[in-house]
């Protein structure tokens, strides 16, 4: 990796050091912009079309979820937080349940753990599908090739959502995880449907590859753009596919197994370049890997109870007065952690969510300068931020 | 001359059609009951525009335009040659090659200096 | 003297060209001035057609209205910080300008008036574009080739002027 | 003669606008099918009247002129874009007789008029006093300007081969010899492809639609426009693509020349076919970046165009090309 060019770091710190040939233009990209993935505002200082300095302003989607959770009982929290990462609510919900279970020291039956793993992998496929669609949408626009890929990936994402609906009765906000297990057991024929869906998705992934990473135009737009050095990524706490695309071999599924990942080995996919293209390649390869894992988890789904202990009737069934835990899982976007401090009674004293997207967009001020306005949307899109998760 | 008359007539027809659309748009337009200054704000993603939009631009833009004019001048000289190309023969072709060659020197220089890059 | 369609068009176009040139000078916004200049140049193209030089009309549109206009627009955007600031004309120069304009007009008009007989006697040869090409590449070959050198000089000049490098300027990323 | 000029002008204008309106519907239908959607279905049989409904909707909208805009230019620019895009159509022969303007200097005039369209686009962007529009306008000009050169150069190839700048003569030449894309194929085909690329760039179509790049510049030049004025910019783009296809068909695909039947049908057929292929491209490619476009034009297309011109000249000097 070549050394970071001086102009990339310096002007960001000291705008007044930069001597433009024309006038600098200040451009607000967002919050109401087609490609800011929700409501993110980035203030760009432009010299011609080249970005000199970029300042992201998150916070437009702040709903005080963490504060709200302090008022809720442990049982009520899960359906609230699955609105954080609205592209992958399943893992968002699992993350909080993991922390609560760790705090309450609840044993989770093996069947529930396997089912959760299967759901997590399905969710990863769905999330990456949506990401691929919006990524090409950013590059090609809704009136162009991007729109086509977007519609295709949405079509396949529907298959996953249909599966979730079959399991939980809800397409988006599932509330299928309870403390100590899962609420909904696999219905008859669900595994067969899932195999059919996965087969179809697996068959179509090469089609997306043709339209995206094997497409000359797409590659030209992505290669060498927004290079995230591994050192910088680690310093900023960037995780997930963004980190792995920078060549850091790190995946919680393998390095700190949760659910049933200690029983089924995960192949961690990495790439070297750290640019937008590498992030694309990692995610597309991860989709294939997730399809394999989801099959393995559903095929190996053990018999047994789905919930440990009695089913929950009352919120007050769990009571913890002290203790603090940190639990994390590998969501589609990286390390989704929950730090939970028990309070008096049935609700937490403090809940802190560590959203991978927040750390991803904190790389923007370093990645954007030196690139053009067109690259902004490519870089932002390739980082796959979900603003609901960033702002919480 | 007749071709030009045709072009003129076509111009008139087009102007009438476009004017008709404009007139229709003017007559059928919806009028807001109350004018709102917010509505007439420049769009900048919902934020207050920060700094002027009419700024001094980068000189690169100018170089690109200049190159266009110069190459277009070249192409303009090609046209009279092109329709007598067969008659002028190899000699004419040779002169054109020299003419092009000199311009390509400038082109190569510009590429080497990166003057035609957009930013 | 009867009014033909050609004459009506000529009068119309001439008037528009005149109006365009007046507004080119009188516009308070530089951008407007450039656009009015475009009107004048475009009308000149139509005059070329009426004079039986259609190729020149095409080239006028291609080079002047398309190219030079663009160049001037960029030039305007380069020079002033805000394109909407008012242009002020110094008062004393106005009379002098009018005087000079009148003098030039008088000279032109006088020349045309004096040479009116010659103009009427000489039949304008309709030579066409092909003739232009032939004579460019045979009789005026040296001038034609010298022209390429002129264009080259313009190119290199523009590059040199635009390439004002300073140390804090971002180094160019490697070519893709 | 004058009556004929009027009639053929009106006829061609009607043909162009009808095909454009139909093209709008066709594009949406085609795109829908390509994207496993249905496209328009509601208005009229198989949604055929959708463009008319769109037009009616646009006509009714409230015109809003932004506060700090240059009002006159803002209002004038969009109709002018459509006007310039339409004007080119006058020069395209839709049949041996059906050409409103059969002009000896057709080719340079077409290029010139097509290139002129960039000025109202720039006007629209600049007059909006909006940064997105302005960036779009600057991109539009730079792109138009860069691709203008290869456009002229590739259009010179048929001129050299046919020895005439008159489009009808060029078609007649192709009728006598072969269509240019058929023979000499090593000249005609690359020139055709380059011409199409440059034409797409001039018409701001994907992969060259950076001036309106809605994922980056919101809507680029047309950001501040509402109602019919927005419609004009939109329409101009379609007309430009359509007329560009017609010009390309004329210069390289034999124009109105067909084995049987009325010539105007062949011309419309070829134009629509090319138009559809361009939309196929549009719905399968992503757009390039502004600097990549510039690099492509200046580094590859300009020298390639020059080489093609010189090659064509050499070819006409050989016994086969005489």
Asked, for residue C105, whether it belongs to a domain, the answer is no
How confident is the prediction for chain C on average, in pLDDT?
A: 77
Whether the pLDDT of residue D45 is over 80: the answer is yes
* Mean pLDDT, rounded, for A333-347: 84
A95-117 residue pLDDT tens:
888 888 888 888 888 888 888 89
Q: Specify the pTM.
A: 0.83
Please tell me which of the candidates A147, A148, A217 has its beta carbon nearest to residue D207.
A217
Q: Give pLDDT, residue B119.
A: 59
Closest chain C residue to the Cα of A372, Cα to Cα: C173
Whether the pLDDT of residue C81 is over 70: the answer is no
% of chain A exceeding 90 in pLDDT:
1
Residues C17 and C80 in one domain: yes
Instruction: Give D186 or A353, the one with higher predicted confidence.
Output: A353
* Mean pLDDT, rounded, for B43-57: 72
Asked, for residue C33, whether it belongs to a domain, the answer is yes
Q: Give pLDDT, residue C174.
A: 38
Residue C104 binned pLDDT confidence (cut-offs 50, 70, 90): very high
D267-292 residue pLDDT tens:
888 888 888 888 888 887 778 887 78
Asked, for residue C174, whether it belongs to a domain, the answer is no
Question: What's the distance, CA C53 to chain centroid?
Answer: 16
Range of lowest pLDDT (A206-220, A262-276, A300-314, C139-153): A300-314
Instruction: Give A243 or B57, the one with higher predicted confidence.
Output: A243
% of chain B exceeding 70 in pLDDT:
92
* Mean pLDDT, rounded, for D159-177: 83
Q: A292 and chain B: CB distance < 8 Å anywhere?
A: no
A66-99 residue pLDDT tens:
888 888 887 788 888 888 888 888 888 888 888 8
Q: Give pLDDT, residue A14.
A: 61
Q: Which of C61, C89, C117 is the last residue of a domain?
A: C89
Whether the pLDDT of residue D130 is over 90: the answer is no
Interface test with A, best of B48, B49, B50, B119 (most A CBs within 10 A): B119
Residue A314 binned pLDDT confidence (cut-offs 50, 70, 90): low
* Mean pLDDT, rounded, for D184-209: 81
Give the 3-state secondary structure of chain A: CCCCCHHHHHHHHCHHHCCCCCCEEEEEECCCCCCCCCCCEEEEEEECCEEEEEEEECCCCCCCHHHHHHCCCHHHHHHHHCCCCCCCHHHHHHHHHHHHHHHHCCCCCHHHHHHHHHHHHHHHHHHHHHHHHHHHHHHHCCCCHHHHHHHHHHHHHHHHHHHHHHHHCCCCCCCCEECCEECCCCCCCHHHHHHHHHHHHHHHHHHHHHHCCCCHHHHHHHCCCCCCCHHHHHHHCCCCHHHHHCCCCCCHHHHCCCCCCCCCCCCCCCCCCCCHHHHHHHHHHHHHHHHHHHHHHHHCCCCCCCECCCCCCCHHHCCCCCCEEEEEEEECCEEEEEEEEECCCCCEEEEEEECHHHHHHCCHHHHCCCCEHHHHHHHHHHHCCCHHHHHC
Asked, for residue C150, whether it belongs to a domain, the answer is yes
The four Cα atoms C80, C83, C86, C89 give a dihedral, to 10 degrees, of 50
Residue C102 binned pLDDT confidence (cut-offs 50, 70, 90): very high
CB contact under 8 A, D132 and B44: yes
Whether the pLDDT of residue C8 is over 60: the answer is yes
CA–CA min distance D227, chain A (Å): 19
Residues C73 and C140 in one domain: no
Asked, for residue C62, whether it belongs to a domain, the answer is yes
Q: Give pLDDT, residue C175.
A: 38
How confident is the prediction for chain A on average, in pLDDT?
A: 83
% of chain A exceeding 70 in pLDDT:
90
What angle in degrees, to the nearest 10, is found between the helix axes of D71-91 and D227-252? 30
Closest chain A residue to the Cα of B45, Cα to Cα: A32
Residue D322 binned pLDDT confidence (cut-offs 50, 70, 90): low
Q: Give pLDDT, residue A20.
A: 63
* Mean pLDDT, rounded, for C11-40: 86
Residue D252 binned pLDDT confidence (cut-offs 50, 70, 90): confident
Instruction: Give C118 or C155, the one with higher predicted confidence.
Output: C155
Domains and CATH numbers, chain A: 6-57 (no CATH), 65-391 (1.10.645.10)
Instruction: Give A312 or B4, the one with higher predicted confidence.
Output: B4
Q: Give pLDDT, residue C106.
A: 94
CB B9 within 8 A of CB D100: yes
Number of domains in chain C: 2
What domain range is C139 assigned to? Answer: 127-165
Interface test with D, best of A143, A220, A226 (most D CBs within 10 A): A143
Phi, psi angles (nearest 5°) of residue D117: -55, -20
């Amino acid at each position: 990796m070549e050394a970071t060019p001086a102009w990339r770091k310096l002007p960001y710190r000291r705008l007044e050091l930069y001597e433009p040939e024309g006038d600098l233009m200040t451009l607000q990209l967002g919050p109401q912009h087609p490609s800011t993935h929700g409501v993110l505002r980035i203030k760009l200082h432009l010299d011609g079309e080249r970005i000199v300095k970029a300042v992201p302003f998150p916070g437009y989607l702040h709903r005080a979820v963490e504060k709200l959770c302090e008022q809720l009982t442990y049982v009520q929290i899960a359906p609230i937080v699955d609105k954080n990462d609205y592209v992958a609510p399943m893992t968002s919900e699992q993350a909080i349940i993991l922390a609560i279970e760790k705090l309450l020291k609840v044993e989770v039956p093996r069947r529930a753990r396997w089912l959760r793993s299967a759901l997590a992998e399905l969710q990863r496929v769905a999330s990456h599908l949506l990401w691929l669609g919006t990524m090409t949408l950013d590059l090609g626009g809704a009136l162009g090739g991007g729109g086509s890929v977007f519609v295709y990936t949405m079509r396949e994402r529907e298959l996953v959502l249909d599966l979730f609906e079959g399991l939980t009765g809800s397409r988006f906000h599932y509330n299928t995880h309870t403390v100590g297990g899962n609420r909904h057991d696999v219905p008859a024929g669900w595994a067969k449907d899932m195999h059919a869906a996965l087969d179809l998705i697996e068959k179509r992934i090469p089609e997306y590859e043709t339209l995206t990473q094997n497409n000359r135009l797409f590659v030209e737009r992505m290669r060498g753009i927004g290079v995230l050095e591994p050192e910088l990524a680690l310093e900023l706490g960037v995780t997930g596919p963004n980190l792995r695309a920078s060549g850091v071999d790190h995946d919680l599924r393998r390095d700190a197994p949760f659910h049933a990942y200690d029983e089924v080995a995960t192949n961690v996919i990495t790439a070297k370049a750290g640019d937008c293209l590498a992030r694309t390649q990692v995610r597309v390869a991860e989709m294939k890997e997730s399809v394999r894992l989801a099959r393995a988890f559903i095929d190996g789904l053990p018999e047994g109870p789905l919930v440990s202990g009695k089913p929950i009737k009352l919120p007050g069934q769990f009571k913890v007065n002290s203790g603090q835990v940190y639990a994390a899982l590998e969501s589609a976007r990286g390390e989704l952690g929950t730090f939970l401090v028990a309070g008096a009674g049935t609700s937490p004293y403090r809940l802190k969510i560590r959203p991978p997207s927040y750390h991803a967009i904190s790389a923007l001020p370093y990645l954007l300068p030196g690139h053009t306005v067109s690259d902004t949307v490519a870089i932002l899109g390739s980082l796959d931020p979900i603003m609901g998760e960033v702002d919480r | 001359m007749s071709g030009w008359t045709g072009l003129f007539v076509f111009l008139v027809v087009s102007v009438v059609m476009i004017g008709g659309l404009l007139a229709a748009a003017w007559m059928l337009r919806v009028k807001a009951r109350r004018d709102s200054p917010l509505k007439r704000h420049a769009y900048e993603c919902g934020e207050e525009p920060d700094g002027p939009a009419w700024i001094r631009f980068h000189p690169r833009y100018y170089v690109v335009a200049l190159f266009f004019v110069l190459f277009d001048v070249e192409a303009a000289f090609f046209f009279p040659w092109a329709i007598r190309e067969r008659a002028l023969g190899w000699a004419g072709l040779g002169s054109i090659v020299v003419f092009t060659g000199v311009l390509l020197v400038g082109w190569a220089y510009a590429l080497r200096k990166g003057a035609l890059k957009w930013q | 003297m009867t009014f033909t369609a050609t004459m009506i068009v000529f009068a119309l176009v001439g008037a528009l060209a005149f109006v365009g040139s007046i507004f080119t000078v009188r516009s308070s916004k530089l951008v407007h001035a450039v656009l009015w200049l475009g009107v004048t140049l475009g009308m000149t193209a139509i005059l070329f057609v009426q004079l039986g030089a259609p190729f020149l009309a095409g080239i006028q549109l291609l080079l002047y209205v398309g190219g030079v206009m663009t160049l001037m627009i960029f030039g305007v955007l380069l020079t002033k910080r805000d394109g909407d600031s008012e242009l002020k004309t110094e008062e004393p120069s106005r009379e002098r300008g009018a005087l000079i304009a009148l003098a030039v007009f008088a000279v032109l008009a006088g020349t045309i008036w004096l040479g009116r007989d010659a103009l009427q006697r000489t039949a304008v040869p309709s030579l066409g574009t092909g003739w232009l090409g032939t004579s460019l590449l045979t009789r005026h070959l040296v001038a034609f080739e010298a022209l390429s050198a002129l264009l080259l000089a313009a190119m290199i000049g523009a590059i040199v002027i635009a390439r004002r490098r300073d140390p804090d300027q971002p180094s160019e990323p490697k070519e893709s | 003669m004058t009556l004929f000029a009027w009639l053929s002008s009106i006829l061609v204008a009607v043909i162009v606008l009808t095909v454009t309106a139909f093209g709008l519907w066709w594009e949406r239908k085609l795109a829908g099918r390509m994207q496993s959607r249905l496209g328009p279905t509601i208005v009229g049989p198989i949604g055929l009247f959708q463009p008319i409904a769109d037009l009616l909707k646009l006509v009714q909208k409230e015109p809003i002129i932004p506060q700090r805009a240059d009002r006159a230019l803002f209002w004038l620019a969009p109709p002018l874009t459509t006007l310039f895009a339409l004007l080119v159509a006058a020069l395209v022969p839709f049949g041996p007789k059906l050409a409103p303007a059969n002009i000896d200097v057709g080719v340079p005039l077409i290029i010139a008029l097509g290139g002129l369209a960039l000025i109202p686009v720039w006007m629209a962007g600049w007059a909006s006093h909006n940064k997105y529009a302005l960036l779009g306008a600057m991109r539009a000009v730079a792109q138009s300007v860069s691709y203008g050169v290869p456009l002229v150069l590739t259009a010179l190839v048929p001129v050299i081969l046919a020895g005439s700048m008159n489009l009808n003569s060029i078609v007649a030449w192709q009728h006598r010899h072969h269509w240019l894309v058929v023979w000499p194929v090593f000249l005609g085909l690359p020139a055709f492809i380059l011409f199409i690329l440059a034409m797409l760039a001039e018409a701001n179509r994907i992969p060259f639609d950076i001036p309106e790049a809605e994922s980056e510049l919101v809507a680029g030049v047309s950001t501040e426009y509402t109602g019919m004025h927005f419609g004009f910019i939109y329409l101009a783009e379609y007309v430009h693509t359509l007329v560009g296809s017609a010009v390309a068909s004329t210069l390289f695909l034999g124009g109105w020349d067909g084995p049987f039947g009325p010539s105007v049908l062949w011309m419309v057929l070829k134009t629509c076919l090319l138009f559809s292929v361009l939309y196929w491209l549009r719905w399968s490619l992503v757009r390039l970046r502004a600097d990549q476009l510039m690099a492509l034009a200046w580094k590859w297309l300009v020298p390639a165009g020059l080489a093609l011109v010189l090659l064509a000249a050499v070819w006409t000097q050989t016994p086969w090309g005489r």
